[in-house]
Structure 1
Amino acid sequence: MIRLILIFLALTTVIGGFRIGTGKSDITGPVTQVMMMGYAELGQTGQGILQRLWARAFIIEDPKTKARIVFVNTDTQSMGDIIKKRVVEKLQERYGPIYTEGNVMISSTHSHSGMGGYLQYTLYEISVLGWIEETANPMVQGIMQSIINAHDNLVDGSLALSSGELLDSNINRSPQAYLLNPFEERALYKHDVDKNMTVLSFKNNQGHDLGLVSWFPVHGVSINNTNRLINGDNKGYAAYLVERHMNRNISPSFVAAFAQSNEGDVSPNTLGSFCTGTDIPCDGTRESKCPSGSKCNGRGPGWETSGIESNRIIGENQALKALELYTSESTQVDGTVDYVQRYWDITKAVVTNHDKQSKLCAAAMGYAFAAGTTDGPALHGFHQNTTHGNLGWDIIRNIVKRPSANQRRCQAPKPILLDTGEMTSLHAWQPEILDIQLFKLGNVFIYAVPSEFTTMSGRRLQMAIKTALIENYLGNEDTIVIHSGPANGYASYCTTFEEYQNQRYEGASTPYGPNTLQAYIQAFEELVFMMANPTNHSIVSEELPDYTKKSFNLTPIYRSDQSHLFRSFGDVLRDVSSDHFTKTSTPIVVSASFVAGNPRNDPMLNKTFLTVEKKIAKDQWKVVRTDDDYDTRFSWKYKHQLLGTSEATVEWHVAHDVEPGVYRLGYIGNSIAPFSNTDETFQRESVS
């Protein structure tokens, strides 16, 4: 009997192939008064929560070699290189050398509706008013906790890979630039954006569902730059839907990550771009200039209702496709686990094109960078497809920093607006040293890049990596190469050489010049060589600088809290109506307002600022909604800022399928008294 048991255990170990673990944790930082990261829209500060932001971690270990990799996906615009460094340092304090910069990859969903302040370079700090420890600390804490949760749940298990086409969920927002790529190359592909979704499935050896990671390229801009509520945009909503479905019906701790891919020129605004207030098509160029008072904006599938509705549609499309792929026939992933990582100085790169060697440029941003995209137009008077500057703006630019003659030649045909690489004030304006990384899972390879790659630049890099893997006997024609990013840092965009000539937003935001993609290709060919030749140490890895002590923070200082006159914290200021509500085809909005403390007192990691409770018996209530649910809204504002009095509003958008019953809204907050460094937690419910 014992022998039979041992044989069974041995067989299950062979079948599983890996040790795997999944984990999830909250990374939501300050939800009020801090600018959101992504649109660089001055004044777009948080005022509450639509949904919380999460880190989702996946650990994979080779049981034979003990080689281990960690993939983390975060509901953020990008990932700060210093955030990753701090996470690894804290993991090493806890676990020793198990986790390193080499085997931890942190990739982002690229949501534009999260709090800013976690990128340490001046250009990105200016867009959100600084480096904000108030944002960074919960992010580090949450990412680390997600990895701890995955570490504590390691089991024998298996991985499987599946892919399929997802339509009506993304379009190319810069097709003019894409068409500049060679016809022969474009002819290899059916669409001008990648429509394939790839899903990596995690199951234990008993076949129980543990989680999935989905990669699909689409910008996190379904919710536009007028939004003030923190959320994970379409990928955050997709993860919410899948986890809610799996946790209710199949697995109570299922973790679903919706990672980003080569989304640089890929928009969720699938109806195209039009001048606001009209049905005039536009593309953000001077040739399609909109009427006075109108801007060129992309329209999502639910634009007539709201950006939140467009977000729901694009997110649901991804969720349903991921579930379909997860449950469909898939390819088992078997083989060894390996990883390689390098801190690479991109500005030192020398590339060879047509037997001519060219050095990459110091960073600079072009005129069309200031124009923004059709997903989020920026400054008036700037346009995409701009290959010549103008005298007025050049004079202003030169006051800040006149580009050198060599820099202008190197960056051509980009007309330089911000010569970030040659600025010496404060600290580095954009990164020079980039964290690039490659994971191996049998015949599946995942690579991390800090830049937003356009569709064709991502395709070229994937193909180059696969070719290098074959040449170095690490892969074959069946090898799968997956693009993940922005990851491990942020370095703006990367276009192809041809697309760069057009100088749309993506080209203008490719900092290191027209040969940036070729430099990435060469750098990843070197990474493949490093993986194939682990004892060869000829390729240098640089030191990552830390500028956080030299940074600034212009976020408003928040003061102590005062309750309203003759009121206590948490008291109901405006209750829900006492009327009975009947079901309708459109959601009914019920809300209540409370005497509040500033949410910045405590980000409430893995908790909630609001509750919706259902009465299940006399004096017994059950929480059925939190501030992470898509049909709730938590918002906050000062009533009298000088006095420190504020109020919080809790909303529930009641859908037609909600069970009849008696419900109540609740608010949980923290207040800080004058002359005190400690906060006091309070909780109140509205009258049901």
Structure 2
Amino acid sequence: MSFVTQALDPFLTAGTHRATFTVASAPPTPLDPVPELLAGAAEVDLTPPPGLPKAGYSRNARTGIGFRGRLRARVLHLRSGTSSVAIVQCDLLGGSAVVQRLVASAVAGSTDVPLAGLFVGATHTHGAPGQFLGTDLYNGFASNQPGFDPVWTQFLVDRITDGVVSAVASRRPARLSWGSTEVWGLTRNRSLAAHVQNPDRTDRRVAAQRTYASVDPRLRLLRVDAVDGGPLAALVVFGVHGTGIPMRNSVYNADLWAYVYEEMRSRLGSTPVIGALQGTHADVAPALRPGRAGDVEAARVGRGIGAAASSLFSSLEPSLQTDVALGAGLREVDLATSRSVDGIELPARPALGAALIAGAFENETPVVHRIPPFRAGTPKPHGDEDPHGAKWVIGSRWLQPVVMPLRRFPRVIPVHVLRIGSAVLVGAPFEITVDAGRRVATAVAASSDVDDVIVSSVANEYAGYCTTAEEYTRQHYEGGHTLYGPRTNAFLAAHAASLASSVVPGAVVDEALPERTFDLRAHQYWPSASGGSGASGASGASGASGASGASAAPRAAGSARFIDVTAEQDAYWEQGWYDGAPGDLAWDQPIVHVEWTPSGEESWQTLVDDSSCALEVRHAGAADGGHRYLVRWHGPELRDGRDYRFVVRGLPLRPFN
């Protein structure tokens, strides 16, 4: 951890408005070969205190006031031959070059996982905080408030570091297998008018049923078992936006992915560490019933995906094998010096398109989405000589560079390739559309000898969108948000194919930049502890998430009440209590659970805890010299002859039935 502390301390303690630091990249150390596949897995809690802006819905998002279903990171570690990798699956908007670099440096002394083997991916939930990314653009505009939060970022680095170290320390002889199934009816293409601009493929069924083929129905799953201990981990890769829960929601959540995990745990048990990565999802949304965005619909979609994943997991047991080829490669493309590959050149400057302002189809910006040129499907008529083609550049090509300096944009594009047995996992920082992903996969398959290519969006950083050139011509939200113009897809495919050709079994291809310098506008949203100067540095972040410190003991506040079901929300029991300030509580530790007992008895048993989506915890503001909180138990199944009660940090509240 010392490296992380040294890297972050200068801007955590200087009191300036910018966070400026450099992280060097050490070349990978050659590893001795191991005779068999080794694997380890770990899960860590990423739930922060209230007060952090949520990312994904931009200015329409809400600041988090609590959580429903905890945010977590799952780590799957694999070691085979001379390669060592760790796949980090986060309930966050995306990966982050800052987090990836600092975690790689932090684990270098205690693990054999190199930077090229550290894959930091995400589910792209829109219910988690932002403010941890490597560019001012997305720390500024992905959330409802701007700025890079160094304390929140340090918390993420510490937790993920703990997860990687734990996963490596727990590794043992293992077996694994990839599988694939199709999931239909739970997703839809939200930008169909742009998608159908792509040429029909040769598959007659696909060409004839374009509406149904506008999503990628394939769910990929990697099952890993310990040779001597049964299931160890499950990694799901599937393409669907994390937008089942609407932007007006104000609690942290993993969106529909939380219900994927819960369904899989209910079917498979608690033994395997279950995590997920986003697939090619940029133009794919959950198939919600009209007007019903919320936890009820998110649960319906998520549990359907989880059921399919569970069946696939169970079917893979006969195909598990120990003889597994493993390789890793990371290329960081610095667009300041390398804008072309294989004759494909990107514009000298990125540009934000007008269609971006109107928002995506299911979450459009009121009024603006109806006005050209913001309205989807109103491309610029004369753009043949413009490197940004049909895009209407916000503020014009001349004014936008003045308002948005080049340094605010993503300028380093990480392309990551992991070879795992019969498949190649390709990670890129873009939100990638269905057909753009198919083209990347096709290019990679032609350059390598694997059975399957799996493309994952928003890995290792967030850099906007990647559409096909044909989709780009329509200038829907996805095209307006493709920063580097209509050739972005071809550029990415060429780099991914080139890198994949080098990632042979046992290879660790390190084409990362020798060092990365980040210069970010900073703002601390992480709440300060009462009676102190707030969390700062590594010790501050750790203190804010460890023991409750100055927090007073909780106090009961009234009786439980029942709130009936609505079209968007399930029924719930709610009860309040008084406690310390948000900055004093350990939000990544258990806070509340529900107990039951036969009526009239005192033999209380735990029924559900706050790791479940059934419990929601909210900060309701300062009150009576302290802070008031609410706990909600959603979808309760109360039985006659039983009493129930909430228990908050060891304090039993008044029973109800």
* TM-score grouping bracket, smaller chain normalisation: 0.7 to 0.9
TM-score normalised by length of structure 2: 0.81
Tell me the equivalent position of 1:397. none
Tell me the equivalent position of 2:410. 431
The letter of the residue matching 1:412 is G
Which sits farther off after the overlay, 104-113 or 426-435? 426-435
- Three-state SS of the structure 2 residue aligned to 1:102 is helix
Tell me the equivalent position of 2:436. 457
Deviation at 1:186, TM superposition (A): 7.4
- 5 Å matches for 1:138-177? 138-177=155-194
| Alignment deviations for residues 211-241 of structure 1 (CA, whole Å, 9 cap, x no partner) | 2111111100000101111111111221133
The letter of the residue matching 1:113 is G
The structure whose RCO (Cα within 8 Å, separation 6+) is larger is 2
| Alignment deviations for residues 128-147 of structure 1 (CA, whole Å, 9 cap, x no partner) | 32111232122222222222
- 5 Å matches for 1:33-432? 33-42=51-60, 44-62=62-80, 65-95=81-111, 98-127=112-141, 128=143, 129-184=146-201, 187=204, 189=206, 191-206=213-228, 208-247=230-269, 252-271=270-289, 299=290, 303-304=291-292, 307-329=294-316, 331-332=319-320, 334-346=323-335, 348-351=338-341, 358-378=345-365, 380-382=367-369, 383-388=375-380, 409-417=386-394, 422=401, 428-432=407-411
- Provide the C-alpha distance between the structure 1 equivalents of 2:415 and 2:631, rounded to a whole number of angstroms: 43
Deviation at 1:544, TM superposition (A): 5.2
- Three-state SS of the structure 2 residue aligned to 1:19 is strand
- Provide the C-alpha distance between the structure 2 equivalents of 1:266 and 1:663, rounded to a whole number of angstroms: 41
Closer, same or farther in 2 for the Cα pair 1:554/1:145, shift >3 Å? Answer: closer
Query: Does the aligned pair in 2 maintain the 1:24–1:145 contact within 8 Å?
Result: no
- Three-state SS of the structure 1 residue aligned to 2:282 is coil
Deviation at 1:28, TM superposition (A): 1.4
Tell me the equivalent position of 1:655. 636
Which sits farther off after the overlay, 312-321 or 619-628? 619-628
- 5 Å matches for 1:475-624? 475=449, 479-532=451-504, 541-543=512-514, 545-548=516-519, 550-553=520-523, 555=525, 560=530, 569-576=553-560, 589-605=572-588, 607-615=589-597, 621-624=604-607
| Alignment deviations for residues 580-625 of structure 1 (CA, whole Å, 9 cap, x no partner) | x9xxxx97532211113232334432x2222212348965543332
- Provide the C-alpha distance between the structure 2 equivalents of 1:386 and 1:544, rounded to a whole number of angstroms: 41
The equivalent position to 2:608 in structure 1, one of 619, 622, 625, is 625
Deviation at 1:150, TM superposition (A): 1.7
Query: Does the aligned pair in 1 maintain the 2:296–2:570 contact within 8 Å?
Result: no
Closer, same or farther in 2 for the Cα pair 1:525/1:73, shift >3 Å? Answer: same
| Alignment deviations for residues 484-528 of structure 1 (CA, whole Å, 9 cap, x no partner) | 221111111000011111100000000011100111111112212
- Three-state SS of the structure 2 residue aligned to 1:57 is strand
The letter of the residue matching 2:120 is I
- Three-state SS of the structure 2 residue aligned to 1:446 is strand
Closer, same or farther in 2 for the Cα pair 1:493/1:214, shift >3 Å? Answer: same
Query: Does the aligned pair in 2 maintain the 1:78–1:490 contact within 8 Å?
Result: yes
Deviation at 1:267, TM superposition (A): 0.4
- Provide the C-alpha distance between the structure 1 equivalents of 2:503 and 2:216, rounded to a whole number of angstroms: 28
- Provide the C-alpha distance between the structure 2 equivalents of 1:522 and 1:269, rounded to a whole number of angstroms: 33
Deviation at 1:547, TM superposition (A): 2.3
| Alignment deviations for residues 273-316 of structure 1 (CA, whole Å, 9 cap, x no partner) | xxxxxxxxxxxxxxxxxxxxxxxxxx3xxx54x51111001110
- Three-state SS of the structure 2 residue aligned to 1:229 is coil
| Alignment deviations for residues 454-500 of structure 1 (CA, whole Å, 9 cap, x no partner) | 0000000001000011xxxxx05xx1111122111111100001111
Query: Does the aligned pair in 2 maintain the 1:568–1:595 contact within 8 Å?
Result: no
The letter of the residue matching 1:33 is G
Closer, same or farther in 2 for the Cα pair 1:182/1:188, shift >3 Å? Answer: farther
Which sits farther off after the overlay, 643-652 or 164-173? 643-652
- Three-state SS of the structure 1 residue aligned to 2:137 is helix
Query: Does the aligned pair in 2 maintain the 1:22–1:153 contact within 8 Å?
Result: yes
The letter of the residue matching 2:48 is G
Which sits farther off after the overlay, 416-425 or 493-502? 416-425
Which sits farther off after the overlay, 658-667 or 369-378? 658-667
Query: Does the aligned pair in 2 maintain the 1:372–1:379 contact within 8 Å?
Result: no
CA RMSD of aligned residues (A): 3.3
- Provide the C-alpha distance between the structure 1 equivalents of 2:351 and 2:368, rounded to a whole number of angstroms: 20
- Provide the C-alpha distance between the structure 1 equivalents of 2:305 and 2:476, rounded to a whole number of angstroms: 28
Deviation at 1:269, TM superposition (A): 3.1
- Three-state SS of the structure 2 residue aligned to 1:148 is helix
- Provide the C-alpha distance between the structure 2 equivalents of 1:246 and 1:339, rounded to a whole number of angstroms: 30
- Provide the C-alpha distance between the structure 1 equivalents of 2:272 and 2:526, rounded to a whole number of angstroms: 39
- Provide the C-alpha distance between the structure 2 equivalents of 1:551 and 1:408, rounded to a whole number of angstroms: 35
The letter of the residue matching 1:417 is I
Where does structure 1 lack aligned partners over 5 or more consecutive residues?
1-15, 272-298, 390-404, 470-474, 669-682
- Provide the C-alpha distance between the structure 2 equivalents of 1:59 and 1:458, rounded to a whole number of angstroms: 25
| Alignment deviations for residues 410-457 of structure 1 (CA, whole Å, 9 cap, x no partner) | 112101116799458788222111221111123211111111100000
| Alignment deviations for residues 197-220 of structure 1 (CA, whole Å, 9 cap, x no partner) | 111111122461112111111100
Deviation at 1:24, TM superposition (A): 0.7
- Provide the C-alpha distance between the structure 2 equivalents of 1:687 and 1:654, rounded to a whole number of angstroms: 20
Deviation at 1:263, TM superposition (A): 0.2
Query: Does the aligned pair in 2 maintain the 1:667–1:684 contact within 8 Å?
Result: yes
- Provide the C-alpha distance between the structure 2 equivalents of 1:602 and 1:193, rounded to a whole number of angstroms: 43
| Alignment deviations for residues 623-677 of structure 1 (CA, whole Å, 9 cap, x no partner) | 332222111111112246xx97421011112533769632211223xxxxxxxxx
Query: Does the aligned pair in 1 maintain the 2:71–2:91 contact within 8 Å?
Result: yes
Percent identical among aligned pairs is: 20
TM-score normalised by length of structure 1: 0.77
The letter of the residue matching 1:440 is R
The letter of the residue matching 2:645 is R
- Three-state SS of the structure 2 residue aligned to 1:46 is coil
The letter of the residue matching 2:159 is G
Query: Does the aligned pair in 2 maintain the 1:361–1:513 contact within 8 Å?
Result: no
- Provide the C-alpha distance between the structure 2 equivalents of 1:342 and 1:77, rounded to a whole number of angstroms: 22
- Three-state SS of the structure 1 residue aligned to 2:394 is strand
Closer, same or farther in 2 for the Cα pair 1:101/1:648, shift >3 Å? Answer: same
Query: Does the aligned pair in 1 maintain the 2:552–2:580 contact within 8 Å?
Result: no
- Provide the C-alpha distance between the structure 2 equivalents of 1:27 and 1:132, rounded to a whole number of angstroms: 15
- Provide the C-alpha distance between the structure 2 equivalents of 1:497 and 1:425, rounded to a whole number of angstroms: 25
- Provide the C-alpha distance between the structure 2 equivalents of 1:343 and 1:372, rounded to a whole number of angstroms: 29
The letter of the residue matching 1:169 is L
- Provide the C-alpha distance between the structure 2 equivalents of 1:223 and 1:587, rounded to a whole number of angstroms: 13
- Three-state SS of the structure 1 residue aligned to 2:436 is helix
The letter of the residue matching 1:179 is V
- Three-state SS of the structure 2 residue aligned to 1:662 is strand
- Three-state SS of the structure 2 residue aligned to 1:183 is coil
